[in-house]
Structure 1
């Protein structure tokens, strides 16, 4: 028994006290789960629409049930017992006068037995199946009812949720938030697509459709209610992009005036090849940007091998000859080193100082590079994201080139831009100047993405390959034909050629097909889902053990190709060892290079004519295309062999079919968008926030066009309404549009 408090304390306890700020520990499990799902505001809950619906508006007789159907019945419990067969289970029998139905629970709690006690009336919904004792339902939903308990008038929503957030709790939270949420119309009727519904009415239909509503249209997202949500989401996204672009136009950047007969001309004269017409066109577009006082924010896209690096070198030369420094960043050391090798070969003979900065570069060598960057001696700085670490101080940073920008996560890209601006401001003595930014991607952006998620970017496209490039033949082989592939490698070596063999894992202990550096198929997407990764740990480990891996494959190929040097390359190797292996392969001293996806981008060995991709079904489509692009870089015909295991999923079949049917990077990109959706396509999953929740950029391209025009009109007519619309739909996610 607790001791009563003293009188003074009791009196004090009656005084009104300031409420303590809510702490995370004080919140219930479901409340915390709501926050983790981003359901913080009433409008967040209002816009959290169901995945599907259960029809609990009617009850059918038990006698009418058929195997495979999903139905709801009501009856009285006539038997309830725990049985011990192969496993402990709760078996319940109910009857409604027309027939009996068995309910079977393999996992149950005492509360189940209490509710399902003999004599209780219950309402049960589930899938019917034929059992040993007649028809039955396994793990149906159920609740106690009275004989006159009314049925719901609307379908029951089933929401996206988590294990800590029961459907009943979430339904109650959404139902409470809907009348409180601010659903005032921000968009004038003349800007809405014809036939769309008012927002409040649209949400009422989606959260609680009646039995007479067109459920098929609701579930396939073609219903007018869905059209309104899609349009509003796309409109918010378009407004945010337009505002980001206008904000950037108000900023200032250094102007790079052209000089006749300066570094640019010397670089062009030194190149062992001429520029294609496409390269000349994009160089002119970039030059026009660099001559303006507004910061360039341009995406340079081109298929594998189209010559983006030389365009970047010419842009860097323009900045350098104007007296400004250029930083070139790549997501991996191998890609950064490939850039370094080319740029040093082109620019160093012209007197340009080049610094090399990566995470593995330590000690005095790094200190020397930092001094050269800070003094301005190094006018070009090449490396990974180490280029913008806090210790790096630029003398005059004027241009930032980011290669394979989509391989940086959204959060990384935002942080990268902020650091670049801070570095440039520091270099300019605190002046509010932003560097020009040129982003490069060998994953061409489909038109719908360019109009939406890249609407604030200017896009330059190299749509022409250099002359003399040979087409790559793509072949699909089942894993059982591995010996034929090895025989083809022997033939290629006999002709003096080289080959790659790419595997998705390093060794049997590696999970999810990615090594410790985040390499491997789908690494970016997995990194964003630690919960899912832990939940699937056992499955992933088993899958990894089934895969051929680089270490085992290296041993097997070494044994199968006696006397031929077989190299090994993966992300866990020390940087110096990786560099030495790549140098040996580039020099022709290694006949076959067995690697993880560290060779996906930036590796350029003209003598390599055969690419073998192990377990190709485990890779993404754009990744397969990038790997295929490592061969065919010389003047000889090249082959890419996709080795696959079985059975193949529908998605894997679609990816492999696309690889066989086309080598066009733009078509590959379009199909990849269809298969994966925009979030994973762009690395957006790494942000933990989906870029578009409701609209489908492929299916809703007409709505994209309408939203784009409406965004410009609404911003011109009523900027305040436009701002409210963005806040409703994007909240703090609007920042991701700046990445």
Structure 2
């Protein structure tokens, strides 16, 4: 990038201001601060609708003072100044009001607020910055920072009408650093930086085609606009620039992958795959056949396949992946299947062995199709908690090539594990693994291996283009025959406390009908925050926001003890299952549930993916509001798998108006995974799309919103593919290449490389 953008911030704004910005925002260079764009813009002539003020968030708003009163505090020394502000909107806009609140008003409390008492007089307009909280059923602010707008010392001599029309940038602020404090520092920066000398990452032909502002002018107008069109033009330019940088990074990576030399794994006539297809007791769906043909063709090439396979729970992804693995084994290679949990790895191992039937070869035992002379394939399971002797044997089988298919957890990534000829890596539930883990497995191959990434969490097209843009994408959107519908209901205990007992009598009815029940809890015990055990990836539902401090969440241990004493479940065999249990106990518990000896399983999210018990028809998810939309969708996919209708009860103690219940409403309203994934993004404000956490909060995408800007992403993607297609190393576009390096910090780069 331009040397100007790489300058230490203190060189342009002084050591003191630079220290404050670094402390509160973590920003140290000119470029980082210039790219710290406003979140939105307020008009001095308009008041902020109080109905739109979000709860439990730092906000900046403009309002008019209605009243102010000061009184002595009873419990301690000092005074309390209460200020009521309004948006002048009237009753129609009031959603957050409650007892003691007027329509379109917000109460602000200042402890020893001498300045507030003197300056916030009725009729005055001011900008307020603070965290909105709920107290006594009423939204309010406590000790917010404020700036009077009636007399703005920073804009002396400006025409009043022009001043009223000037937009006020609102920056992502902190509790210690207000938006207007950030604006003042950036104003100083704009005066000292040579904006006209900044180099433009956008190729000149694209900037001309889109009629974009020069980059320096765009920086000035996005931070200091005089009119609304000013910041809109600047924002449009930087939004496209962000999309092009991101898509160019993906296109460059795709080109690098395509240039690598892999071992072609071509189909073998009358081999294992052909024998497997002959013995299949069902016909592949049209989608499975089509995706299978695509994978077969890509495995036959001498450049590595890099494909994302997404499909709903039960759409048959495992069969498609197994056929690809058999093609690789036929050609003399090995396939590794990486699963996020030991329970899922064991399930995959059992399911694949069962599906292969006589084609499985165990050690010295023969296997295969004798009629055509096809040898079987050895399927080996490798997990961290296996007995030492069994683990050593599994490692020996992988290293010698005896095992054609190796299924495992993070144990596969150990330095001690090696492969004879690793030709294909299948990653199940992609979101559970990081770049280091995937790279560790790739490094065990002689040549770059083929890669198949599977996910049962549907990904909107825009997200696929933005996050998985270096992977080709296939979708399985048909459900095989035998899948029954799942009905989902919200059980709100806040408004219907009597339903708590009905949950367990309903469970007993299901068990008495010969079926089985899952009960899912967000915690293992009373002293932890979830099922995050060593060797297992953190559940994907980490996107839940904080709520109701002090609420005791359901835990596996407490619920098991409670249900043992529950009259409605007297005599029902039940068992706990969670990630911290011994592997043998986990396997025995799952086996007992699979064979219908255990009728009710109390579990954490360890059963989220892969667990397949056809007789289970009811799922009770306790404190369901603690899980994300995609996780709830995954969990309920465990029922209704054997042709029997499934029911999922989403139990919550939160009041109906709580924001977290919107997720439950969304899940109860539809079983369409793609529709839910769109809703998930809306509710989470996209979260950290490029960050490993995938949690809610501020996105690392600065201006790009993947649901709103599909046209921008698609246009930038075409440009990026054209640019990289002609110049894979971006030698003719050094500023764009530098922008990629600057924009993609190590965390973002790692996320992109998870493919």
Q: The TM-score by the shorter chain falls in which range?
A: 0.7 to 0.9
Contact kept, 8 Å, 1:673 with 1:681, in 2: the verdict is: no
Q: 2:679 aligns with which of 671, 677, 686?
A: 671
Contact kept, 8 Å, 2:533 with 2:580, in 1: the verdict is: yes
Aligned to 1:43: 31
Aligned to 1:70: 63
Q: 1:681/1:278 Cα in 2 relative to 1: closer, same or farther (>3 Å)?
A: farther
Please tell me whether residue 457 in structure 1 is matched to residue 462 in structure 2: no
SS of residue paired to 2:268 = coil
Q: 1:177/1:436 Cα in 2 relative to 1: closer, same or farther (>3 Å)?
A: farther
SS of residue paired to 2:348 = helix
Bigger Rg, structure 1 or 2:
1
Deviation, structure 1 residue 620: 1.1
Contact kept, 8 Å, 1:302 with 1:461, in 2: the verdict is: yes
Q: 1:366/1:682 Cα in 2 relative to 1: closer, same or farther (>3 Å)?
A: farther
- Which deviations, in whole Å up to 9, do the C-alpha atoms of 1:325-361 show, x marking residues without a partner? 1111011111111111112332444432233222323
Alignment of 1:303-322 (within 5 A): 303-322=312-331
Deviation, structure 1 residue 568: 1.1
Contact kept, 8 Å, 1:290 with 1:436, in 2: the verdict is: yes
Deviation, structure 1 residue 626: 0.7
Aligned to 1:556: 562
Deviation, structure 1 residue 90: 6.0
Aligned to 2:75: 86
Q: 1:235 aligns with which of 238, 244, 247?
A: 244
SS of residue paired to 1:417 = helix
The whole-number CA distance in structure 1 between the counterparts of 2:716 and 2:700 is 16
Aligned to 2:596: 588
Q: 1:524/1:642 Cα in 2 relative to 1: closer, same or farther (>3 Å)?
A: closer
Aligned to 2:268: 259
Q: 1:590/1:148 Cα in 2 relative to 1: closer, same or farther (>3 Å)?
A: closer
The whole-number CA distance in structure 1 between the counterparts of 2:668 and 2:541 is 24
Aligned to 1:159: 171
Deviation, structure 1 residue 582: 0.8
Contact kept, 8 Å, 1:325 with 1:396, in 2: the verdict is: yes
Deviation, structure 1 residue 575: 1.8
Aligned to 1:250: 259
Deviation, structure 1 residue 644: 2.6
- Which deviations, in whole Å up to 9, do the C-alpha atoms of 1:525-567 show, x marking residues without a partner? 58xxxxxx9xx7xx77613x1x333223223333331111012
Aligned to 1:14: none
Q: 1:392 aligns with which of 411, 417, 423?
A: 417
Q: 1:106 aligns with which of 93, 99, 111?
A: 111
TM (norm. structure 1) is 0.78
Contact kept, 8 Å, 2:335 with 2:425, in 1: the verdict is: yes
Please tell me whether residue 357 in structure 1 is matched to residue 382 in structure 2: yes
Contact kept, 8 Å, 2:381 with 2:406, in 1: the verdict is: yes
Q: 1:290 aligns with which of 299, 320, 326?
A: 299
The whole-number CA distance in structure 2 between the counterparts of 1:314 and 1:549 is 40
Contact kept, 8 Å, 1:33 with 1:162, in 2: the verdict is: no
The whole-number CA distance in structure 2 between the counterparts of 1:51 and 1:398 is 47
What 5-or-longer segments of structure 1 have no aligned partner? 1-21, 59-67, 74-80, 94-102, 129-135, 527-532
- Which deviations, in whole Å up to 9, do the C-alpha atoms of 1:282-302 show, x marking residues without a partner? 111111110001011001111
SS of residue paired to 2:319 = helix
Q: 2:215 aligns with which of 199, 209, 228?
A: 199
Aligned to 1:705: 714
**Larger deviation, residues 500-509 vs 162-171:** 162-171
SS of residue paired to 1:476 = strand
Deviation, structure 1 residue 725: 3.8
Please tell me whether residue 652 in structure 1 is matched to residue 660 in structure 2: yes
- Which deviations, in whole Å up to 9, do the C-alpha atoms of 1:610-630 show, x marking residues without a partner? 112222222211111111110
Please tell me whether residue 500 in structure 1 is matched to residue 518 in structure 2: yes
SS of residue paired to 1:602 = coil
Deviation, structure 1 residue 690: 4.6
The whole-number CA distance in structure 2 between the counterparts of 1:375 and 1:561 is 52
Contact kept, 8 Å, 1:316 with 1:399, in 2: the verdict is: yes
Please tell me whether residue 376 in structure 1 is matched to residue 401 in structure 2: yes
Q: 1:116/1:652 Cα in 2 relative to 1: closer, same or farther (>3 Å)?
A: closer
Q: 1:287/1:69 Cα in 2 relative to 1: closer, same or farther (>3 Å)?
A: closer
Deviation, structure 1 residue 665: 1.9
SS of residue paired to 1:612 = strand
Contact kept, 8 Å, 1:124 with 1:140, in 2: the verdict is: no
The whole-number CA distance in structure 2 between the counterparts of 1:250 and 1:478 is 55
Aligned to 1:224: 233
Aligned to 1:530: none
The whole-number CA distance in structure 2 between the counterparts of 1:156 and 1:268 is 66
The whole-number CA distance in structure 2 between the counterparts of 1:383 and 1:32 is 48
Aligned to 2:751: 736
TM (norm. structure 2) is 0.76
Contact kept, 8 Å, 1:29 with 1:164, in 2: the verdict is: no
Aligned to 1:472: 486
- Which deviations, in whole Å up to 9, do the C-alpha atoms of 1:249-296 show, x marking residues without a partner? 100111112111111122223433332121111111111110001011
Contact kept, 8 Å, 1:34 with 1:165, in 2: the verdict is: no
Q: 1:447/1:54 Cα in 2 relative to 1: closer, same or farther (>3 Å)?
A: closer
Aligned to 1:566: 574
The whole-number CA distance in structure 2 between the counterparts of 1:651 and 1:284 is 45
Contact kept, 8 Å, 2:312 with 2:457, in 1: the verdict is: yes
Deviation, structure 1 residue 36: 8.3
Q: 1:440 aligns with which of 445, 449, 454?
A: 454
Q: 2:502 aligns with which of 474, 480, 484?
A: 484
- Which deviations, in whole Å up to 9, do the C-alpha atoms of 1:609-667 show, x marking residues without a partner? 11122222222111111111101110222222222323145653432333233212222
- Which deviations, in whole Å up to 9, do the C-alpha atoms of 1:563-622 show, x marking residues without a partner? 110121122222221111111000110111111111110100011111122222222111
SS of residue paired to 1:255 = coil
Q: 1:329 aligns with which of 338, 356, 359?
A: 338
Q: 1:694/1:682 Cα in 2 relative to 1: closer, same or farther (>3 Å)?
A: closer
The whole-number CA distance in structure 1 between the counterparts of 2:721 and 2:353 is 45
Q: 1:682/1:444 Cα in 2 relative to 1: closer, same or farther (>3 Å)?
A: farther
Deviation, structure 1 residue 734: 4.0
**Larger deviation, residues 237-246 vs 155-164:** 155-164
Aligned to 2:52: none
Alignment of 1:479-628 (within 5 A): 479=493, 480=497, 481-511=499-529, 516=533, 523-525=541-543, 542-543=550-551, 545=552, 547-558=553-564, 559=566, 560-628=568-636
Q: CA RMSD in A?
A: 4.1
Please tell me whether residue 420 in structure 1 is matched to residue 441 in structure 2: yes
The whole-number CA distance in structure 2 between the counterparts of 1:601 and 1:137 is 44
**Larger deviation, residues 339-348 vs 193-202:** 193-202
The whole-number CA distance in structure 2 between the counterparts of 1:555 and 1:423 is 46
